Structure 1
């Protein structure tokens, strides 16, 4: 997957790329580089949030969709989106109507910010609504985000309750104990996958793999951070991450600009040289695919 939520300011700085021309060209170049390394690998446009058919049409006009094999969407109607849960089939159709590419749901989830019963209901109803509507569905996520780690958003605590919901998206609490919804998850695997982001040298990796096996998960989505790839010890960590996930059908998301490579020193910034991102994607594909 080429980037994460490129139409979300928390993940791509649209002030530096207001019409997404840089993202479109960068993604097209990266898609071509991946195809040169591994022709059979499925290349996915970065999952969009909000769900915006016009963004997909913009990518089509710029030729970006010629360099990917699928597009993806993210939705959280019980937490952040301004639409209702039962609109999921219409949201998928709105994107399917503007492209011939398969439409993946690469992140969908419900927080326990208000009550665990909300997530329990949301999991079951979401699965009923979309598992037969998309070829890939990844539930976000297995673990709650530890409170000591910042959530990846623009304004952090200034976002109020919207920010704190990020810390309650897991089927497991921060300490690894199960929430109510977990007992239903095996009703939907292996069709339903999981999206779990792992931080650099994440202490939860081995336990997560055990939970994936226990839950019957076959499809896993995670990230390979371009920014992390420049850190000391990065090669050993990325090797360990990919090796641990080798038994699963994995979607690797290539994202996060290193400070030293960005137009602005931030992970959301377009790179100074889009060739650097394409080279990173090619290098990771060559090493792991």
Structure 2
């Protein structure tokens, strides 16, 4: 079921990793190495991927190389949103890819790329077509973010807030489908790019969209999907039931699962971006999930939870 495991999400983005607690990413590097080792022990055949970086920063990748992280993974990944958040233009995609390739010979994935419809839906359609022109054939994996718009009632997983204007609101309009499930113009364009293009779709805990999303992805010809299993969610009542349901629903796809989000009571600070107090706990979670949902499919219990 799981073909690849991604270790964290955008570790060089303060919306996902706190740089004040870990300004030199030493704690992150230690955690990532332990997680990669746990994943390899659980199932050596699964591809281990360093969490997609955003912004695309060869300096950060060099830091990870120096810390030994790249010795423990099989691929690295980048995320790019030049029409929404990045400080570079969409035609610079080849240059950004080359900057990372100058640092590492590992396979490079574009594990998250997208365009919001905050300004106009036609912009997303044009951006998808141009992204395909620029990236197709350059990288072995391209995953479009995302299938659904983020429901406005849920809030975005970011440190940006309403005071930052469109930077925050753009998060809610990244889908090929509107919040009510109706298609945007780019959906038809995307259907012509599969299976070469995959999708990214994060499912919230007990997400009501799961079954409908599966139906849409099959209709669109999607074969590879990137999603997440939240370490923080693993402490919720009924977590394993939800994880089992989510992963069973995705069994027909080649799944890249992203492991991330620190439980509030397991971090240096009570926030999902905090480095964990004990990185071995995150590694144990990764290993347990691979043993449960990897190709071997051996169901085991989550590791014992240590009292706060």
TM-score range, shorter chain: over 0.9
Q: 1:71 aligns with which of 69, 76, 100?
A: 76
1:231 aligns to 2:239 (yes or no): no
Q: Secondary structure at the match of 2:256?
A: strand
SS in 1 for 2:49: coil
| Partner of residue 256, structure 1 | 261
Partner of 1:282: 287
Q: Secondary structure at the match of 2:48?
A: coil
Specify the alignment match of 1:197 in structure 2.
202
Task: Within 5 Å, give how 1:42-81 maps onto structure 2.
Answer: 42-81=47-86
Q: Does 1:218 align with 2:226?
A: no
Name the structure 2 match of 1:156: 161
Q: Structure 1 stretches of 5 or more lacking a match?
A: none
- The structure 1 residue matched to 2:22, chosen from 11, 17, 20, is 17
State the secondary structure of the residue aligned to 2:199: strand
- Cα offsets for 1:186-212 (capped at 9, x unmatched): 211001000000000000000000010
- Supply the distance in 2 between the matched residues of 1:241 and 1:135 (Cα, whole angstroms): 26
CA distance in 1, matches of 2:115, 2:13: 19
Cα distance per residue 1:140-172 (max 9 Å; x no partner): 000000010110111321221100000000000
Could you list the per-position Cα deviations for residues 44-98 of structure 1 after superposition, in whole angstroms to 9, with x for gaps in the alignment? 0000000001111101101011111000000000000010001111111110111
**Residue 97 of structure 1 aligns with which residue?**
102
Residue 242 (structure 1) aligns with: 247
| Cα contact 2:160–2:167 (8 A) shared by 1 | no
2:44 pairs, out of 14, 32, 39, with 39
Determine the C-alpha separation between the residues in 1 that align with 2:11 and 2:164.
20
Q: Deviations over 1:268-288 (max 9, x none)?
A: 000000111110101111111
Distance in 1 between the 2:286 and 2:71 partners?
17
Root-mean-square deviation (Å): 0.6
Residues in 1 aligned to 2:136 and 2:283: alpha-carbon distance in whole angstroms: 32
Moved over 4 A (4+): none
> Structure 2 CA distance, aligned partners of 1:219 and 1:173?
21
* Partner SS state of residue 223, structure 1: strand
Long gaps (5+) in structure 2: 1-5, 295-308
Pick from 167, 173, 176: which aligns with 1:168? 173
Return the TM-score normalized by structure 2: 0.93
Hey, what's the Cα distance between the residues in 2 that align with 1:30 and 1:43? Answer: 9
State the number of aligned residues: 289
Q: 1:16-41: CA deviations, max 9, x gaps? A: 00000000010001101110110000
Question: Is 1:8 aligned to 2:13, yes or no?
Answer: yes
The residue that corresponds to 1:265 in the other structure is 270
TM score, norm. by length of structure 1: 0.99
Q: In structure 1, how many angstroms separate the alpha carbons of the residues matched to 2:29 and 2:293? A: 25
